[in-house]
Structure 1
């Protein structure tokens, strides 16, 4: 079959870390079908420094340029809204120019479904949407695109969401439960493998005796890197190092912090394996991809009570704390630093889970939905033809 994936969240040589989970999905799906990807690229990304490749590419990728939107009004005109249309139009133009045959459109996130919905309906192309947005994103989309969003209710064949939270938001938007499938994010176990902790530390020029805390994510309040820094500061320990991989924010300055720029998945496993513990005091997630990747490497995790992380981590694989409680985060770090037996137990339990949430199995489940949707549309087309005869 010929599948077209629409996703503005896809890695490039300018941002190799961006949308790694979409990249992983697309590469695995290409084992089943011929896959084309329309991944609109912000025009200002062209001025960024080119990075190393994000990994081997088995799909045909088109990158139509668009002007990124922003919130502003000039002479009464909503410039932000006008510019946001640039992305939708770039997707539609690219599709018309480069896609001659297609059996199904797979939109990664609702906003991309909105971009291609009218064209898909016009051409009777079946459509599946993957949804993993945050609550605020759902509210913003409904506010800005309510007409199209509700128009997709009956047309879309399936919506794949990653958690119960996403499911409830989609139901709140009016989508039928019969169309929604909960299929959590998965991990590539061939890439994210356990490695020798000492050797991984040496590659980063960190001494074996240092206890390494890891953080991966945006440097924003919701993710909580500065709460991790404050927690470590309170421990007043000279043998703790913190590696923070991310950007889009500012970290508290501290001598024990090693800041690293975002990177593609191809480089990430060796960094993760240098961690003695991974700490993510997030305030909310859909289904956290990086936690699945850290788990696959066998690294113990400290994360958040009262969030969907509770579906990923339990008391056999890590410690869950109040993500706003600095003292609780510090106590959890102190506990795992001092109790090597507990760390080893967590590692053993995590390694026993390897393979239980594989990317291959996830794509296999999604592919069944894809094939059912295409076959259903084929039957409908035959019926429409029969009625016209």
Structure 2
């Protein structure tokens, strides 16, 4: 059985339960097929006013951190927001190296291209190990300057590259020069034991939502790039003409206080639910209570919450970015241009007025995390075999 060191900075943590759910599911399913240890690097930033990261909730878990179904080792290394961007990959590699050596890994699999994929690749090479890197979304779609350069180096050096959508595969090849032969698309799965249709009336009664409400739900991080300003602008305009309209914002993030201020500014406090970051079962209950799920992001990889919504029989209004059009079709939702509140409003109103075949859309979504694990392991085993062959060929006669 292969010993795989899975390196990722994105996992669910107590202060951000929504972060990295899909990597956790992949790691858990892969652990049933191989010996996997998940290495969870965290950059330890100085706690000074004005220096908190702008895109995620700051916090650190200790060495005793655990997650269901995986062997995880958390650790931290020092950094400084913005300033240490160029060095994080090198410092991260030094922190990772002794841990890989102690585990006795056969292969390193890293999710998140820079700095963590770069660090994993550097440490793997120092140990003579093959390395597979996986891109998840903004780590390839939202890169410029130095970050883009270091991302390009990571993709060029890896033995294989995983993307979660065909759109990301094209970006890796055309924008970052990755070799087409080593880029593999492995679409995410869902937990079919959690995301399935539930009785909407029962869910609304449980969650305290009026049975006659027209409920639009967003699930994700509270950051500007998720299109939350545009969503609130569209919702405020719709709410003026529709007293039954309600909005649920399920998640947490650095933008929470600002969102609450914007909601209060529009006088919509009584029409917006904010239940916080939830475990998957809680997310599924809110989706099943909804008329429409929306994800008006500026950028996405393969937006799994959209798959989860459709699997629950809930139509989706989604920005036409990344791999969204690989999920959304005329039978399960609508695509809309990002950063356009008027277009978002029109699409939401259209979706709310349609008669959808909820059972049919749910029945079309059956890909599980076991499928993802099997395909991921196949790429890893291919990289292992190629590495072994190259090492043997390079050995002196």
TM-score (norm 2): 0.83
Alignment of 1:1-389 (within 5 A): 1-43=2-44, 57-71=68-82, 78=83, 81=86, 86-96=91-101, 98-99=102-103, 101-111=104-114, 112-134=116-138, 135=140, 137-140=142-145, 142-143=147-148, 145=150, 149-150=152-153, 153=156, 155-171=157-173, 172-235=175-238, 236=240, 237-246=242-251, 247-249=253-255, 250-251=258-259, 252-253=262-263, 254-255=268-269, 256-305=271-320, 308-339=323-354, 342-343=355-356, 345=357, 347-355=358-366, 357-384=367-394, 387-388=396-397
Offset at residue 277 of structure 1 (A)? 0.8
Rounded Cα–Cα distance in structure 2 between residues aligned with 1:32 and 1:160: 18
Offset at residue 368 of structure 1 (A)? 1.2
Residue 63 of structure 1 aligns to a residue whose secondary structure is strand
Cα 1:216–1:182, aligned 2, differ >3 Å: closer, same or farther?
same
Task: Name whichever of 366-375 and 32-41 sits farther off.
Answer: 366-375
RMSD after superposition: 2.9
Offset at residue 165 of structure 1 (A)? 3.2
8 Å CA contact 1:211–1:241 kept in 2: the answer is yes
Rounded Cα–Cα distance in structure 1 between residues aligned with 2:146 and 2:69: 32
Residue 138 of structure 1 aligns to a residue whose secondary structure is coil
Cα 1:117–1:384, aligned 2, differ >3 Å: closer, same or farther?
same
Rounded Cα–Cα distance in structure 1 between residues aligned with 2:6 and 2:294: 33
Cα 1:177–1:80, aligned 2, differ >3 Å: closer, same or farther?
closer
8 Å CA contact 1:64–1:94 kept in 2: the answer is no
Rounded Cα–Cα distance in structure 1 between residues aligned with 2:58 and 2:319: 37
Cα 1:369–1:141, aligned 2, differ >3 Å: closer, same or farther?
farther
Offset at residue 114 of structure 1 (A)? 0.8
- Structure number with higher relative contact order (C-alpha < 8 Å, ≥ 6 residues apart): 2
Offset at residue 4 of structure 1 (A)? 0.7
8 Å CA contact 1:214–1:279 kept in 2: the answer is yes
